[in-house]
């Protein structure tokens, strides 16, 4: 199975900061990568698919990049609503796999 | 409006079985692949199983392979997960998720989950 490694596991930041989260795949997954946001007690929400495509309705401060084995999620200017946990997921092949998550906390 | 409503969770003893259901509405169910994703208390997301639009392609996580079976009934707009030989480590909130297409793709809609607790 393809392993997905996210870093950092926790990130402390302030409103207005630029935030970058990294996800690495154990083998090439082309651009078959998604990013999700999850808040406590809620279902995950799709932010980015195919590595860099913004899901409809998601603010443009979210962006994704990368291909092959290295990917990043960037929040250009962190807003109060963005404090949450973020997960990457590869869907190149079964079994699909998630990264371990990155919790973005208030500094 | 897309709606996914999971049911069938509950408290079950180790070694027993449980069948989860997901009722879908608001989209053409038989056009899309579907997934089950779980989240143990305080832990991250774990993909469990997925099924293509026509059930022609199915996948499982290694942790459930041979014990869980995914299926769908397109006539009933429903997704199922048959869980056998349950273990304590299967305790989690189980989400049903709709894929963006009929095959492998990201999940754009999620249910609110059904809680499965495996304990004696």
Dihedral over alpha carbons A105, A9, A94, B7 (to 10 degrees):
-40
Tokens for A84? 């949450």
Neighbours of B118 (CB within 10 A): 19
Question: Does residue B26 register a pLDDT over 90?
Answer: yes
* Nearest to A105, CA basis, from A34, A14, A2, A8: A14
* Nearest to B23, CA basis, from B111, B82, B116: B111
Q: Does A97 touch chain B (CB under 8 A)?
A: yes
* Nearest to B6, CA basis, from B97, B105, B101: B97
* B93/B110 Cα distance (integer angstroms): 12
DSSP state of A55: P
For an interface test with B, the pick among A1, A92, A94 (most B C-beta atoms closer than 10 Å) comes out as: A94
B104 interaction partners in chain A (CB closer than 8 Å):
32, 91-94, 96
pLDDT of the residue at A89: 98
Q: Does B52 touch chain A (CB under 8 A)?
A: no
* Nearest to B82, CA basis, from B71, B93, B96: B71
pLDDT of the residue at A107: 87
| A44-95 pLDDT tens trace | 999 999 999 999 999 999 999 999 999 999 999 999 999 999 999 999 988 9
Q: Is B55 helix (H, G, I), strand (E, B) or coil?
A: coil
DSSP state of A81: G
For an interface test with A, the pick among B106, B111, B112, B113 (most A C-beta atoms closer than 10 Å) comes out as: B106
């Amino acid at each position: 199975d393809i392993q997905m490694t996210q870093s950092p596991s926790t990130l402390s930041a302030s409103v207005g900061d630029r935030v970058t989260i990294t996800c690495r795949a154990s083998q090439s997954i082309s651009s078959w990568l998604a990013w999700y946001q999850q808040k406590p007690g809620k279902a995950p929400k799709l932010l980015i698919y195919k590595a860099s495509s913004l899901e409809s309705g998601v603010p443009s401060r979210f962006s994704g990049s990368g291909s092959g084995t290295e990917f990043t999620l960037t929040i250009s200017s962190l807003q109060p609503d963005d404090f949450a946990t973020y997960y990457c997921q590869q869907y190149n092949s079964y079994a699909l796999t998630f990264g371990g998550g990155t919790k973005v906390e208030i500094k | 409006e897309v709606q996914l409503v999971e049911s069938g969770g509950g408290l079950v003893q180790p070694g027993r079985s449980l069948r989860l259901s997901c009722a879908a509405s608001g989209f053409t169910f038989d056009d899309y692949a579907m997934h089950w994703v779980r989240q143990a208390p305080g832990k991250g997301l774990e993909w469990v199983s997925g099924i293509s639009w026509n059930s022609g392609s199915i996948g499982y996580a290694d942790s459930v392979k041979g014990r869980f079976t995914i299926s769908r009934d397109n006539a009933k707009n429903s997704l199922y997960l048959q869980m056998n030989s349950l273990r304590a480590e299967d305790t989690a909130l189980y989400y049903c998720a709709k894929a963006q297409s009929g095959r492998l793709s990201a999940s754009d809609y999620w249910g609110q989950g059904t809680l499965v607790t495996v304990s004696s």
